[in-house]
Amino acid sequence: MALDPALAAQLKRNADGLFSAVAQERSTGIVLMVAWMDDEALARTLATRRATYYSRSRQEYWVKGDTSGHIQYVHDARLDCDGDTVLLVVDQVGAACHTGNHSCFDTESLSFGVPDADARD
Q: Which residues contact 49 (CB under 8 A, 6 or more apart)?
A: 73, 74, 75
Percent share of the chain, pLDDT over 90: 84
| Options 3.40.50.2300, 3.10.20.810, 3.40.109.10, 2.40.50.100; CATH of 5-92 | 3.10.20.810
Does 114 have pLDDT greater than 90?
A: no
> What pTM did the predictor assign?
0.88
Does 115 have pLDDT greater than 90?
A: no
Read off the pLDDT of residues 7-27 as tens digits, 9 standing for 90 and up. 999 999 999 999 999 999 999
Does 113 have pLDDT greater than 70?
A: no
Q: Which strands sit side by side in the sheet containing 85-92, from one edge to the other?
A: 31-37, 19-25, 85-92, 72-79
- Domain spans in the chain, listed from the N-terminal domain onward: 5-92
Please report which confidence band the pLDDT of residue 58 belongs to, taking 50, 70 and 90 as the band edges: very high
